[in-house]
A and B are shown apart, each in its own frame.
Chain A
Amino acid sequence: MYKEICKKYSPDKDNLIYILHDIQDTHPQHYISEEAVEVIAEYLGVPANHIYGVITFYSMYSTSPRGRNIIRLCESPPCYIKGSENILRKMKIMLGVETGGTSKDGLFTLELCACLGVCGNAPVMMVNNDVYGDLTEDKVEEIVEKIRRGN
């Protein structure tokens, strides 16, 4: 499977970031496994440690399994000023996790991130590729419930 994803891109080193994105997005647990790194290393002809160097540099990549849905809550100042701390507290209770943790049912991983560029509607979070703004404690509850039911 990893091999096939790699083949969508020409074997140039500058495609590494896209291959990593693609592999992570396609994996149901949204991470890049050791095995995947070996496959990419062979395909691009670069050492595995170069690939790990890149993975650890960029905050969006993960080398350990995560939940089916990735929640990224913005913790930058404009969102903080508008109360992102309360949203975080609520989320932790609701999902029963600490920051970075995955809920028991494997459905959600809760992460913090830097500004998502939707600060006009702070506080903001991104669930997978969808942005939700003007968050309130009630609203996050609704959003999480809806995704839960959808799964």
Chain B
Amino acid sequence: MSLKRIDLLICCGSGCVSAGALKIKERFHEVLNEKGISNEINIIETGCMGPCDYGPVMVIYPEGIFYKAVTPEDVSEIVENHFIKGRPVQRLMLHDEEKTFAAQKDVPFYQKQVKVALENCGYIDPESLDEYIATGGYEALGTVLTTMTPQQAIDVIKESGLRGRGGGGFPTHAKWQMVHDAKSDEKYIICNGDEGDPGAFMDRSILEGDPHRILEGMMIAAYAIGATSGFFYIRAEYPLAIKRIKHAIEQAKAMGLMGESVFDSKFSFDAEVRTGAGAFVCGEETALIHSIEGMRGNPSPKPPYPSTSGLWGKPTVVNNVETFANVPSIFVKGAKWFASMGTELSKGTKVFALTGDIRNTGLVEVPMGITLRELIFDVGGGIIGGRKFKAVQLGGPSGGCLTIEHLDVGVDYESLKARGAMMGSGGVIVMNDQNCMVNIAKYFMDFCVDESCGKCSPCRIGLKQMYDILERIVHGYGKIGDIEELQRLGEAVSRLSLCGLGQSAPNPVLSTIRYFRDEYEAHIRDHSCSTKVCLALMHFDIDKDNCIGCSLCARKCPVNCITGSREEKYTIHQLDCVKCGNCQDVCPVKAVNRVPGMHPEEKTKRDTLKKQHPHED
């Protein structure tokens, strides 16, 4: 390989690809060829660099210049000015009100981050085994296989304090120990890459951005527990992750890092990729095992746990992608180093996926115990569009919503649980003051109703009942007592369901009732949605003082319920309005407003109807 003058790292993680990164890459090849300098520049496709919302992003070495939101039209300018004349393009750099951040390391987004699981993600070419090895890859596996017994390897993990990153936070060494101790002719190791939580994409990013790391972590685990075969279970929605892992397996095999007697030790190992077909519940470990076996992915009661009777009835360890991603570093840098980060009970770092109304949506890795405020405002850059922070949903459908008063809570397993949220897999959904919490709770409930496998009735029926109540409330048919009914049902479903889906599905509803009860009450009692999200509980109104009588709204109204004239101005006949919002969209002077609360006329009409048909609701 000849030495090149410039390394151009283009993020080709799924986020940037969805924003057009591949087109940019093609364009670079074209322009460099045209200029005849393609032999001077190394183009490297990397995994996710983190700030996905700014995609497509790229970093150019030796200086480490960071460019964001690059378009194919920008490519010639970058080549001409930066690569040929040595003048980086200011326009494409990240800046805030005062400063321009030329180098990636100076970008505020990266300041509080500590990268362990993401160490290589966005820095190396995920399809190159050489690059992985150049960063110290497979060193840990070599050390473990040649200098440690399986028990010693487990002890190192124990000392590090590593806990499962898939949601529950179960101590990793304890799980390994159980399978290590189990007597069986065959044992299995499974990597859980199902990642169905809405708002979560850390596992996808690591699988895509640093596949060898996961493979290495898995092999160390396999050695520790005595498994000779492993399975990657990756959801079919992640075709690139599947491709990258398959590729990594082939490379490792060709290199002799996998297969018979790895590193000349007695350890032999083989791995396969299995895919899902669109079922959230398959992330639950017993369901996942059934799915690998080619069946419906229904969870089964525990015990027996997979550690005693897992895949094809054999002792099995199921670990999350990020859990494995931490393992190699622990062996290279030491258990003490790992344990020095984080809090008393939650060691190390955690990868979070920031989404929603936050400025820097994307992938971040921070030490455990960091406060929500630091995570959302320092790393995440705060709320986008000058709005106010309202709530944050942590842990996907099994988690809960926290609010302003929790901003100083440290993010670790126990602190979050104590407040009705959960670490979960690390999805952080940030919401501004324009979000209606009742409606958001309904959305999570909808997700869980869709994804319930239907095996047990509390989950199948109870969640649907909760959904129906929420649906009634947002449509203005809430009844006094609904809140208590939601709480009663939620507690019953949590207590009686078989698997974690049903046990945790009521959390978003229960936590929003806990912290935003007034919003539920306003919906039910006053028929009002203060955020004006729930269409039934708001109405459109034309402000006569602002209206210039242009008639645009009347012409755009699909049901012709706006009348008036230039002199009289325009009025909405509320009873016919279907709340399509067209009038508001077209009004040139913004005279059409959304007003919280059901219009009095509509309320009267409803009450009359109710009196006539008292049994219908």
Q: Does A5 sit at the interface, judged by CB under 8 A?
A: no
Given known contacts A17-B277, A78-B355, A134-B18, is B296 in contact with A119 (CB within 8 Å)?
Answer: no
What is the minimal beta-carbon distance from A77 to any residue of chain B, in angstroms?
A: 5
Q: Does B295 sit at the interface, judged by CB under 8 A?
A: yes
Given contacts A14-B293, A115-B198, A117-B204, 6 further A-B contacts (CB under 8 A): A54-B295, A58-B276, A115-B200, A119-B199, A119-B355, A131-B14
B294 near A54 (CB under 8 angstroms)?
yes
Complex Cα gap A50–B201 (Å)? 33
B200, B279, B357, B451: the one within 8 Å of A81 (CB)? B357
B 290-301 to A, binary, CB cutoff 8 A, 1 in contact else 0: 011111111000
A82, A115, A116: the one within 8 Å of B356 (CB)? A82
Stretch at the interface among B101-109, B114-122, B147-155, B236-244: B236-244
A76 near B17 (CB under 8 angstroms)?
no
Complex Cα gap A122–B444 (Å)? 17
Given known contacts A57-B296, A60-B278, A77-B393, is B200 in contact with A117 (CB within 8 Å)?
Answer: yes
A 66-78 to B, binary, CB cutoff 8 A, 1 in contact else 0: 0000000000111
A131 near B195 (CB under 8 angstroms)?
no
B363 near A120 (CB under 8 angstroms)?
yes
Q: Does A80 sit at the interface, judged by CB under 8 A?
A: yes
Complex Cα gap A36–B451 (Å)? 26
Most chain-A CB neighbours within 10 Å: which of B15, B239, B357?
B15
B 429-455 to A, binary, CB cutoff 8 A, 1 in contact else 0: 101000100001001100100110100
Contacts of A15 in B (CB 8 A): 294
Q: Does A124 sit at the interface, judged by CB under 8 A?
A: yes
Complex Cα gap A115–B239 (Å)? 14
What is the minimal beta-carbon distance from B532 to any residue of chain A, in angstroms?
A: 14
Q: Does A65 sit at the interface, judged by CB under 8 A?
A: no
B15 near A126 (CB under 8 angstroms)?
no
B residues sitting closer than 8 Å to A (CB atoms) are 14-15, 17-19, 52-53, 55, 195-201, 204, 236-239, 274-280, 291-298, 353-357, 361-363, 393, 427, 429, 431, 435, 440, 443-444, 447, 450-451, 453
B277 near A115 (CB under 8 angstroms)?
no
Contacts of A116 in B (CB 8 A): 237
Given known contacts A14-B293, A114-B447, A121-B55, is B277 in contact with A77 (CB within 8 Å)?
Answer: no
* Interface CB pairs A-B, < 8 A, 6: A13-B294, A15-B294, A59-B278, A76-B199, A81-B431, A119-B361
A120 near B361 (CB under 8 angstroms)?
yes
What is the minimal beta-carbon distance from A20 to any residue of chain B, in angstroms?
A: 7
A 13-42 to B, binary, CB cutoff 8 A, 1 in contact else 0: 111111011000000000000000000000
A78 near B362 (CB under 8 angstroms)?
no
A115 near B196 (CB under 8 angstroms)?
yes
Q: Does A2 sit at the interface, judged by CB under 8 A?
A: no
B18, B292, B393: the one within 8 Å of A118 (CB)? B18
A60 near B236 (CB under 8 angstroms)?
yes
Complex Cα gap A21–B239 (Å)? 13
Q: Does A12 sit at the interface, judged by CB under 8 A?
A: yes
A121 near B196 (CB under 8 angstroms)?
no
* Nearest residue, chain A, Cβ from B295: A54
Given known contacts A17-B294, A129-B239, A131-B14, is B355 in contact with A120 (CB within 8 Å)?
Answer: yes
B453 near A119 (CB under 8 angstroms)?
no
* Nearest residue, chain A, Cβ from B238: A117
Q: Does A43 sit at the interface, judged by CB under 8 A?
A: no
Most chain-B CB neighbours within 10 Å: which of A13, A21, A54, A114?
A114
A58 near B277 (CB under 8 angstroms)?
yes
* Nearest residue, chain B, Cβ from A120: B52
B198 near A121 (CB under 8 angstroms)?
no
Question: Which parts of A92-151 form the interface with B (CB within 8 Å)?
Answer: 113-122, 124, 126, 129, 131-134
What is the minimal beta-carbon distance from A58 to any residue of chain B, in angstroms?
A: 4
B201, B278, B440: the one within 8 Å of A120 (CB)? B201
B15, B236, B239, B354: the one within 8 Å of A121 (CB)? B15
Complex Cα gap A77–B298 (Å)? 25
Complex Cα gap A14–B231 (Å)? 13
Complex Cα gap A50–B431 (Å)? 43
* Nearest residue, chain A, Cβ from B199: A78
